Amino acid sequence: MEDEERLKAKLAMFVSGCKGWVAEAEEQDVDDDAIEEVKQAHEHIREAFRILDE
């Protein structure tokens, strides 16, 4: 597997984990600032995917 493909796989796992964590955190009323930080990290990873796809 190429380095780029390996990176994409790791990023995909992170994105999936972020989405799951945010959903659970919102249900459990976790600190809004913590949730926002994870949402921002999720967006940064999505932007990285866009850059890699160019």
Name the residue range of residue 15's domain. 3-53
- The count of structural domains within the chain is 1
CA dihedral 23, 32, 29, 17 (to 10 degrees): 30
pLDDT at 52: 84
pTM: 0.73
pLDDT tens digit string along 1-53? 588 888 888 888 888 888 889 989 999 989 999 999 999 998 998 898 888 88
- Asked if residues 22 and 39 have their Cβ atoms less than 8 Å apart, the reply is yes
Alpha-carbon span 41 to 47, nearest angstrom: 10
At 1 the pLDDT is: 57
User: Residue 3: what pLDDT?
Assistant: 87
